[in-house]
């Protein structure tokens, strides 16, 4: 039986898959944030929405993101999960593998799918959409034109869903795309997106 340290320096037993001398160190800060996808996942995790379905979609590709989750972020999440499951848990070996082995994205996807941990992809997609919008809003350009372009790019990447913020419906955006929005108009549209986001996160909980 191996051990790892908790916040107070106490030892927490960890049972390895193959060896009785495996030690894992608990990390309380993400060791690497390499991409926008990683940044969004950190937002998701801090809000308490991270799960294996979310990880799986992050590895497969998220609309609007030009990268997938990094292996470091996947390992970090697996390490956190490993400290919360008992060795008798049916997924312990799979989580252990994801936490300790340097897997490629394809290999991680195969492990998650085979374990049955990635099932509710519909909700995972909604989680990624909500927190991707949060990332956009957190970094929105203050210039009304560029701000509108950024919001338009986001909703376009998600294919203008029917449940999008009302002000971001395709017809509305097309109708106003030929003119530069005033600061007041942009603020109203931004606030509408913020309200949509708050409502969406509440529904996801």
The CA-atom distances, in angstroms, between 103 and each of 32, 65, 70, 194 are 16, 21, 10, 37
pLDDT in tens, 133-176: 999 999 999 999 999 999 999 999 999 999 998 888 765 554 44
Query: In which region does residue 61 sit, left (phi positive, over 0), alpha (psi from -120 to 50) or beta (all else)?
Result: left
178 and 89 belong to one structural domain? no
Residue 100: predicted pLDDT: 96
10 and 85 belong to one structural domain? yes
Rounded mean pLDDT, 118-125: 91
38 and 108 belong to one structural domain? yes
Query: Does pLDDT of 65 surpass 50?
Result: yes
Is residue 10 domain-resident? yes
Going by pLDDT thresholds of 50, 70 and 90, the confidence category of residue 96 is: very high
95 and 180 belong to one structural domain? no
Rounded mean pLDDT, 172-192: 77
Cα 109 to Cα 148: distance, rounded to the nearest angstrom = 35
147 and 109 belong to one structural domain? no
107 and 151 belong to one structural domain? no
Is residue 90 domain-resident? yes
9 and 96 belong to one structural domain? yes
Is residue 26 domain-resident? no
Is residue 53 domain-resident? yes
64 and 100 belong to one structural domain? yes
Is residue 96 domain-resident? yes
43 and 106 belong to one structural domain? yes
91 and 7 belong to one structural domain? yes
Q: Residue 182 gets which letter from DSSP?
A: P
Residue 27: predicted pLDDT: 42
Q: Residue 178 gets which letter from DSSP?
A: T
Is residue 157 domain-resident? yes
Q: Residue 5 gets which letter from DSSP?
A: E
Rounded mean pLDDT, 14-24: 36
Is residue 135 domain-resident? no
Number of domains in the chain: 2
Which residue range forms the structural domain that includes residue 53? Answer: 2-16+33-115
9 and 87 belong to one structural domain? yes
91 and 157 belong to one structural domain? no
Residue 119: predicted pLDDT: 83
């Amino acid at each position: 039986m191996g051990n790892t340290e908790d916040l107070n320096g106490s030892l927490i037993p960890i049972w390895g898959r193959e060896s009785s001398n495996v030690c894992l160190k608990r990390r309380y800060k993400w060791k690497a944030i390499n991409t926008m996808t990683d940044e969004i996942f950190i937002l998701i995790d801090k809000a308490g929405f991270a799960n294996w379905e979310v990880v799986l979609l992050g590895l497969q590709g998220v609309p609007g993101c030009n990268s997938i989750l990094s292996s470091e972020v996947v390992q970090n999440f697996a390490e956190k999960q490993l400290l919360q499951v008992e060795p008798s848990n049916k997924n312990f070996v799979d989580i252990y593998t994801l936490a300790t082995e340097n897997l490629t994205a394809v290999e991680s996807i195969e492990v998650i799918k085979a374990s049955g941990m990635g099932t509710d992809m519909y909700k995972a997609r909604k989680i990624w959409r909500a927190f991707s919008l949060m990332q956009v809003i957190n970094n929105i350009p203050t210039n009304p034109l560029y701000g509108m372009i950024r919001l338009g790019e986001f909703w376009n990447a998600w294919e203008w869903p029917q449940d999008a913020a009302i002000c971001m419906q395709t017809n509305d955006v097309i109708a106003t795309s030929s003119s530069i929005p005033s600061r007041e108009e942009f603020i109203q549209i931004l606030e509408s997106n913020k309200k949509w986001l708050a409502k969406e996160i509440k529904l996801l909980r």
